[in-house]
Amino acid sequence: MFDFEFIRNNFELIKRSAELKGESVDVDKFTLLDLKRRDLVKRRDAIRAEQKQISLKVAELKKSGQGDKAEDLIKQSRQLSESESQLTVEITEIETELYTLISWMPNIPDASVPLKTVTTIKEHGNPLAFEFTPKTSDELCESLDMVDFKRSTKVVGSNFPCYKGLGARLERALINFMLDLHIKQGYTEILPSYLVNPKSMFHTGQLPKLEEDMYFIGKDNLFLNPTAEVPVINLFQEEVLDAKDFPIKYVGYTACFRREAGSYGKMTKGLRRLHQFNKVELIKFVHPDSSYQELEILLKEAEEVLKLLGLTYRVILLPVNDMSFASAKTYDIELWAPASKEWLEVSSCSNCEGFQARRAKIRFRDKGEMKTVHILNGSGVATPRLFITLIEQYQTADGGIIIPEVLRPYMGGIDIIDSKKKNQET
RNA sequence: GGAGGGUUAGUCUAACGGUAAGGCAGCAGACUUGAAAUCUGCCGGGAGUAAUCCCAUGGGGGUUCGAAUCCCUCACCCUCCGCCA
């Protein structure tokens, strides 16, 4: 969200970036309402000033025991009061409209972001060649009994996975491995609430735009978080941070809930796109002057997960039309699923600059001046597609899965998942 | 769920219904080799070249010429009671 003054001075920029992000923002309407508001406010202020003067005179008269002389003044003030409240009604209406208008303006992309072309920044690892026909993750999950999709459907519905046996253990191992790694990188762990209030959803930019994609508990007016970004960032809403602590780094794990309304087809098969999934999320509060350097560091910190797991991945720079509402610049990390033969997105690392911070009123003091912090977020990483690519990349000719060494301590020393060991819980 | 108490600026704390006062922190300057101390100014937001004006006491409403103050309502915090893992 932007300040009024910024909007007044940057019409073209806002209009163009909104169009590129697929939003229609009526900038002309803003100008019209803004001018009207300023005019009305000026008129109301004049009335209020007059009322104040009268009020002071009344007080004086009453103090000096001449209360009866105040009658005319009081009558006059009552009349002013009427026109004042009329103007206030008009102003409130306009402000509501303006606020709605502003809350639908997406963040402006950084100058380094391409308009429509996806740019591959780097590739890591080798293209994997198997001397046998590799199984897809769906086949492996079934043959090794790691995820029970069918039974879970009876409990809740489709696309809510139920991990089972060593599948559950592997999922848990991944989460813990990632958390421990990021803690080593200097992040403070947060285990936040899964439910968040509407205000918080607005601050981080999920509302108003993505309301349809969110689970909502009407009885208590709460949303299920779609990412730990929401509860973690909102911990600090309306706070003034200390610049001495920058960069402030938090890592949070939560289950994430998304309705994925309108999704269908191949992309929803297996673990590809789920209503509930696990994600470890990195959040940084930084000084505006260094937020783009911090974004590069954040990306490297997320990549470290995949490097240590020995996975083949690539990093792409998202063009404006693929970027989220709140982001100014986003890198995606994609993993290679060799059997399914597709790149799967497991992480988005974004610099949202002051967009969320202005909404959430998260500020810091810089040489006596209050400023808006810049907020970055990055998945480090989401588990389902990591799970898919890991089991596809590490599968053996006889249908087992080798556990990467860094995960073994989290798996009770298990080094391979195979058909004999599939339900083992040593 | 019930009863009572509370919410004032970055922070801490005042204000018989008469128009938000202080302290601390912070910033700038003076003094100083430098610092501390001290002194001066600034130190919530908006409009205006400026003088100045308006808004702001958790949110929303009401009473009043006038509300931080009185009333209603909601949110949150604290204490106690009830219920429960």
Total length of chain A:
426
**C-beta atoms surrounding A394 within 10 Å:** 20
Distance of CA A315 to the CA centre of its chain: 19
- Strand B, CB < 7 A, residues 50-79 of A: 51-52, 54-56, 58-59, 62, 74, 77-78
Question: In Å, what is the separation between the CA of A172 and the C1' of B82?
Answer: 39
A99 contact to strand B (CB, 7 A limit): no
Q: Which nucleotide is nearest to A67 (CA to C1')?
A: B65
Phi and psi based region of residue A71 (left: phi greater than 0; alpha: psi -120 to 50; beta: remaining)? alpha
Pairing between β-strand A216-217 and β-strand A195-196 as defined by DSSP bridges: unpaired
A81 touches strand B (CB under 7 A): yes
ipTM score above 0.85: no
pLDDT tens, per residue, chain A with 426 residues: 888 888 888 888 888 889 998 888 888 888 888 888 888 888 888 888 888 888 888 888 887 777 777 888 888 888 888 888 888 888 888 888 888 888 889 999 999 999 999 999 999 998 788 999 999 999 999 999 999 999 999 999 889 999 999 999 999 999 999 999 999 999 999 999 999 988 899 999 998 889 999 999 888 888 999 999 999 999 888 888 878 788 999 999 999 999 987 666 666 678 999 999 999 999 999 999 899 999 999 999 999 999 999 999 999 999 999 999 999 999 999 999 999 999 999 999 999 999 999 888 888 877 777 788 999 999 999 999 999 999 999 999 999 999 999 999 999 999 999 987 655 554
Q: Chain B positions under 7 Å from a protein CB?
A: 10-11, 18-19, 26-28, 42-47, 53-55, 61, 65-66
CA/C1' separation A154–B83 (Å): 33
Q: Which nucleotide in the DNA or RNA is closest to residue A81, CA to C1'?
A: B65
3-class DSSP state of A281 = strand
Whole-angstrom distance, CA of residue A202 vs CA of residue A356: 9
Contact A206, A103 (CB under 8 A): no
Residue A129 CA and nucleotide B40 C1' are separated, in Å, by 77
CA to C1' distance (Å), from A6 to B11: 30
For A236-271, the pLDDT digits (tens) are 888 888 787 889 999 999 999 999 876 666 666 789
